[in-house]
Chain A
Amino acid sequence: MSVPLVNADSLLAVDVGTVTTRAALFDVVEGLYRFIASGHAPSTAAAPRKDIHEGVCQAIENLQTITERKFLNEDRRLIMPANDGKGVDSFAATLSAGPAIKTVVVGLLDDVSLESALRLARTVYTQVVDIIGLNDKRKPEQQIDSILHLQPDLILFAGGTDDGATRSVEHLMETIGLACYVLPAEKRPALLYAGNTKLAEKVKSSLQSLTSSLRVSPNLRPSLETEDLQPAQHALTTLFTQIRRDQMGGVDELNTWAGNTLMPTAYAEGRIIRFLSQIYDSSKGILGVNLGACAATMAAAFSGELTLGVYPQLGLGEGLSDLLRYTSLEEIQKWIPLDIPAEAIQSYLYQKSIYPTSLPATPEDLAIEQAVARQTLFVALNSVAKDFPRRVRHASPGLTPYFEPILAGGSVITRAPALGQSLLILLDAIQPVGITTLILDQNNLLPALGVAATRNPILPVQVLESGAFLGLATVVAPYLDAQFGTPVLHGRLVYQNGNESRIDIKMGALEVLPLPVGQSGRLYLQPLHHADVGFGPGRTRESGIPVTGTALGVVIDARGRPLRLPTDAGQRRELIKKWLWALGG
């Protein structure tokens, strides 16, 4: 029944999240691919259903109501290919719902195979519960007992460069094999081997019957100097689907509809970010951030090289009661413009963790939720930044690298009551430097485009250029270590009609030059005191920078990098309120 995406006209893409299942329709309008509409429904992955099918059908039925087009037949089966005005030509699916996958990482050296295997683990929704390596002081039987106690869903097994160590890898294989042998058949983990390729066949023959599923991929560390995660990532997506299939119903059917291309949502997001970095020639990187109930996902790509970080511990759902293991109440509280005691913030975290689908109805709850969003994004970006390639360009070490554009998803950001709030969350958390465009993925389209990208590259490009995403703001963030109030920038925005706006920016300011959607202009910047707007200290582009209209226009963020907030709580709250007012939030 599956139809490849190539040469297909319409595409129906479903994303099953922890809270919401979304169905998005893309079709050709006047010769170009367009996003048509999306429908959504509560996800049914968790109890009492424990089966994603109902949520998927309801989301598609919601889309049917909106588009007045039928995609499901009377038996709620997908109509594919399209025929007689019904159904779709192709189908894609992504999945993020479900608990974090308990993972044991096994490898040889901490800073070689284990480091790469941990990076691999971070590309899907995993929780690393143990790490076994050569420097592990435990005896093999203690490692076995640890695996038995933890009962992982997945073992990621790497180690040995190609033509390198075999004996140590064989010892680890023995440890894994003995642990799996003792586990009851229904509790045996899936296993991905991405170590010394010489041992691949041996691993297969020894461990195949002792694991729930086994995949072998090319070595993720073929030599000490080389890391290649991509093939292992692909193999990991297959195992992800199989693990989810054992945890919840409906996964098989969805995967069948998708022609066996069901992908983890974060992986699909990573693919589209990498794809965009390949087609948009830029010396800067492209950043995609998504803050959902199940995880915070950060995808950064630099000329086709992707760094993907998926952090289930930083999701805004069930895991919130454990958030304080990764940050502090003070770090959350500092972002809140209202006087809310720390105890209330802690109660919020726990209450939200027991009701992960609930929404902030009061201004206080919203303020806490947005503060938590800032802090989790901040922590996630700092974590993923450790894996960025060394060659990426920064204004200064430790600052966010130059990105253009930054795409953001997740309802806490995209469904904020005011766009100024969305922007301030992103500016505070990401603290971009230089000139960048912030774009909101309000319809959660990036995963769908990620699935489509490699098979039908025209679709994502045309959809991205069609206005399906909301251009939030063009941000200019100069970098300068100067006193508050020091002049840092003269700006001049020349509109299409020849009119112009001028602005003088001082250190600490957050200012807006309106440039509505549909308009364009040219921005001339004159950095002062060697301020760096991305062209080097004190340098600019004399011919100006072309800018297109966005919802909030050109926003100049001269609050400093890294952003430092006043230590006095009252002053800090007033300042955050002032920034929100400046952005119309």
Chain B
Amino acid sequence: MLAPVTHILPFTTIRRERLLPLPGRILVHEGQKVNSLDVVAETHFGKEHLLTDVAGALGVRAEAAQNLIRIKAGGLVSQGDEIARRKGLVPRVVRAPRSGQALLIGAGQVFMEVGETAFEMQAGIPGAVTRLIPDRGAEITFNGALVQGMWGNGQMNVGLMMPMLSSPEETLVATQLDVSLRGAVLLAGNCSDPAVLQLAGELPVRGIILGSMAPAIVPQALQAHYPIIVVDGFGQRPLNSAAYKLLTENAKHEVTLNAMAPDWQTGVRPEIFIPLPVIQEPHLPRDEETFALEQRVRLRRDPHAGAIGTLISLRPRPTIMPSGIRVIAAEVRLESGEQVLVPLANLEVLG
């Protein structure tokens, strides 16, 4: 049976494509080293559009208005520029309400793009540019530690990681936050207090990594201007042991938090990158596995949500769980030594 995979890897190679939403200009070259916040490509687009009814303004039919329009499609116009004029005893003039570009002219109307905005695509991952994607972006290859999360608030930043916990289940509380943490990325077991997120924003911190988060503070987390990544899920659960070990071992290292909102259709997930020096480039991790004995697995649901163990047997026939449901199940030896029976659907391979 196909198994979902979550990467919690102390040293790996990862390739990610960073693509503009619209065609634009690429600002990097192949082989170039980039930091997460470096801009790799940019594009410009009109934030708004304007439709000017020239025919109506001049009091003529649409066909007649066409001949009175003095600008061309594709041309740039400044605010106040004359875009059409009707001669006569009392001439009438139509002026551009805002600066912009005329996209289309027809049926006595002018359709303009205004409020040009630049969109800059950041690398989002520290590494080297390994491929350019014409007009759209680049592929960046990263070497180092990687922890994939389950939820992110859509922000991205880089900072030194400061563990705020001495064990994986510790809760982040407001009294732990002081000015010495300004610019840091905080690592904690869980958080359920919206005041913590507000205070962290006021310092400001550069990010927060949590094992779990109370659903009640999701709205505040989505408002935060710094990245928040939840590694294991929602409620009050400890940070899983593999992530705890990897992240605390890299305390005070520079980390990138790319807290993208998860999209299970496309495979986008929030990710934590810790760049490490390359001695020998490791293999790319597999994004898909088949369940097999001796695999390291993480349990996704209660009663052991977030626990890590080793898959020791796959039941050939459906098994009845404590809830009463009959499912294909596996036996897992948890790190505590306890053996538990888990629906296969509640397992994911760590690798």
Contacts and interface: CB of A to CB of B under 8 A. Distances in A.
Contacts of A41: 1-2
Interface in A99-147: 99, 139-141, 144-145
Of listed A99, A356, A362, residue having the most chain B CB within 10 A: A362
A566 to B, nearest CB: 25
Contacts of B288: 48-49
A358 interface: yes
A184 B103 contact: no
B183 interface: no
Contacts of A486: none
A418 interface: yes
A42 B50 contact: no
A179 B56 CA distance: 22
Interface residues of A, number: 52
Nearest to B111: A178
A358 B151 contact: no
Contacts of B326: 415, 417
Nearest to A365: B302
Contacts of A248: 265
Contacts of A49: 288
Interface in B91-143: 103-104, 107, 111, 113
A8 interface: no
Interface string A355-374: 11111111111100000000
Nearest to B149: A354
B215 A347 contact: yes
B293 to A, nearest CB: 19
Interface stretch (B172-180, B276-284, B316-324): B316-324
A351 B4 CA distance: 16
Contacts of A530: none
Contacts of A349: 215
Given A47-B267, A48-B288, A346-B215, A362 B322 contact: yes
Residue in A139, A318, A344, A354 with the greatest tally of chain B CB atoms within 10 Å? A354
A350 B1 contact: no
Nearest to A357: B345
A350 B113 CA distance: 40
Given A362-B322, A365-B302, A148 B49 contact: yes
Given A141-B49, A362-B302, A182 B113 contact: yes
Contact of B327 (A54, A247, A359): A359
A361 B267 contact: no
Interface residues on B, range: 35 or more
Contacts of A42: 1-2
A338 to B, nearest CB: 12
B235 interface: yes
A233 to B, nearest CB: 25
B323 A358 contact: no
A54 B1 CA distance: 11
B245 to A, nearest CB: 22
Contact of B303 (A141, A351, A356, A362): A362
B301 A365 contact: yes
A343 interface: yes
Contact of B265 (A46, A139, A182, A366): A46
A408 B323 CA distance: 22
A418 B48 CA distance: 57
Interface string B318-351: 0011111111000000000000001101100000
Contact of A359 (B111, B268, B320, B346): B346
A495 interface: no
26 contacts: A42-B2, A45-B265, A46-B265, A47-B266, A47-B287, A48-B288, A99-B265, A141-B48, A148-B49, A178-B51, A181-B103, A182-B49, A247-B265, A343-B216, A343-B235, A346-B234, A351-B234, A351-B305, A355-B301, A355-B346, A358-B346, A359-B321, A359-B346, A360-B325, A361-B325, A366-B325
Given A346-B216, A362-B302, 10 more contacts: A42-B2, A46-B265, A47-B267, A145-B48, A174-B107, A361-B322, A361-B325, A366-B323, A415-B326, A417-B326
Interface of B: 1-2, 4-5, 22-23, 46, 48-51, 103-104, 107, 111, 113, 150-151, 214-216, 218, 233-235, 262, 264-268, 287-288, 300-303, 305, 320-327, 342-343, 345-346
Please provide the 3 A-B residue pairs with the shortest distance between their CB atoms, ordered closest to farther.
A47-B267, A417-B324, A347-B235
